Amino acid sequence: MTDSLLNTPVKLGHHTLNNRVVLPPLTRQRSAQPGDIPTALMAEYYRQRASAGFMVSEGTQIEPRGQGYAWTPGIYSPAQIDGWRKVTDAVHADGGVIFAQLWHVGRVSHNALQPDGAAPVAPSALPALQAKAFIQTGPGVGELKQPPVPRALSALEIEELVAQYAQAARNALDAGFDGVEIHSANGYLVNQFISAHSNTRDDQYGGSLHNRLRFLREIVEAVCKVVGPERLGVRFSPLFSGTDQDRVYIGLVEEDPHHTYIEAIKVLEESGIAYVSIAEADWDNAPDLPDTFREAVRSTFSGRIIYAGRYTAERGERLVQAGLADLIAFGRPFIANPDLPQRLFNGWPLNPLREEGMYGGGEAGYIDYPTYSE
């Protein structure tokens, strides 16, 4: 094994992780229907990748209205909890540490995915013009659809949603997860509250940045009471450029993203949570995060910092060496290489990623990628 910094242990909450390679949340759309229930196939997929120092599940919706894509799993029903328990048992049997990502898409949904065909919910009645939902049109087939104009949530409904996040965290612990991550990125519900582009409310949840961060603050406080701050992380996707309009759905570009997200990270620091995860733009020729932002994140937040976004082992190690990151997440490479940490540490070649089976399907493109020894 090489002496890569990525191959060194690191503390995360109560856990001492074996290495600094992270499996980030990756939507794969393999849950059983009806009921959006995690399956034995999903358990095998995560078990194969349990050599990661740390794993985060694919986004799992906290309630039926939180779904924006067909076949994604939930974590609100007894059957879903039982299904996830099979996943966590498989990961723990191979020595892995796994958190559940708690997800609500807000306005990035469609009537076909909503209970009784209702409109999706959001902080304000503003449509997600650059995003697409994915609906089932037949057994195992579907299509992308433009989300409709959402319905603005009432203040009472927002309080109820905060309670649903807390309940989802309880469900995650019941399912055997080691902790939870709040999905506050990619233009989904929590991100919609933070952004002035999607939140035009004039009550305590809108207007000033302090008010727009209230929903995040209340969720973090509520979930901390359930799992403890040492078992909680939050994911953001601060974009410093919006030039690729086809990719706007991965986040919302603020007028001053540096100020917006450093203030958001201050909320996390006040609660003492375990980590913040930063998802960078990952398309071709995407802009890098400014070094000034990375330095501000480090000086603001005393917990662990995870970065994701087309990293190589060398680039990730440089960030750890500079003291700006503690862990590095690898998305596409981990899909194609179930033994990715060992490949990175030994300099072994990587399997190429196949588009087949990226979203939905069965074993192909999911659990059939070979390890290096195979």
> What SS3 state is found at 134?
strand
Helix (H) / strand (E) containing 284: none
Arithmetic mean of pLDDT, 362-367: 98
Q: 294: domain CATH number? A: 3.20.20.70
Q: Does a structural domain hold residue 366?
A: no
Helix (H) / strand (E) containing 12: strand 10-12
Q: Does a structural domain hold residue 211?
A: yes
The dihedral built from the CA positions of residue 131, 136, 137 and 139, taken in this order, carries a sign that is positive
Arithmetic mean of pLDDT, 262-291: 91
Q: Does a structural domain hold residue 241?
A: yes
Q: How many CA atoms lie within 13 A of 297 on its CB side?
A: 28
Q: Is 261 labeled as catalytic in the residue annotation?
A: no
Q: What is the DSSP string of 316-371?
A: HHHHHHTTS-SEEE-SHHHHH-TTHHHHHHHTPPPPPPPSTTSSS-SSTTTT-PPP
pLDDT tens, 66-100? Answer: 999 999 999 999 999 999 999 999 999 999 999 99
pLDDT of residue 241: 61
Catalytic residue among 45, 69, 165, 188: 188
Q: Does a structural domain hold residue 362?
A: no
> What SS3 state is found at 199?
coil
pLDDT tens, 208-263? Answer: 999 999 999 999 999 999 999 999 999 999 987 654 444 445 567 889 999 999 99
Arithmetic mean of pLDDT, 298-310: 97
Arithmetic mean of pLDDT, 291-305: 97
Q: How many CA atoms lie within 13 A of 92 on its CB side?
A: 12
pLDDT of residue 242: 53
Two structure tokens written together for 259? 């100020």
Supply φ then ψ for residue 102, to 5 degrees. -90, 125
Q: Does a structural domain hold residue 356?
A: no
Q: Report the domain count for the chain.
A: 1
- Per-residue pLDDT for 130 more than 80? yes
What type of residue is 352?
A: P
pLDDT of residue 243: 47
- How far is the C-alpha of 71 from the C-alpha of 74, rounded, in Å? 9
Q: What share of the chain is helix, strand, coil (3-state, %, to 5)?
A: 35, 15, 45
Q: What is the DSSP string of 148-177?
A: -PPEEPPHHHHHHHHHHHHHHHHHHHHTT-
The dihedral built from the CA positions of residue 103, 277, 46 and 311, taken in this order, carries a sign that is positive
pLDDT of residue 283: 73
Of 37-51, 230-244, 329-343, least confident by mean pLDDT is 230-244
Q: Does a structural domain hold residue 306?
A: yes
Structural domain harbouring 296: 5-346
Q: Does a structural domain hold residue 307?
A: yes
Q: Does a structural domain hold residue 162?
A: yes
For residues 92-102, b (16+ Cβ closer than 10 Å) or e, as one string?
beeebbbbbbb
Quote the mean pLDDT of the chain. 95
pLDDT of residue 251: 66
Contact 328, 5 (CB under 8 A): no
Q: What is the DSSP string of 26-66?
A: ------BTTTTB--HHHHHHHHHTTTSSEEEEEEEESSGGG
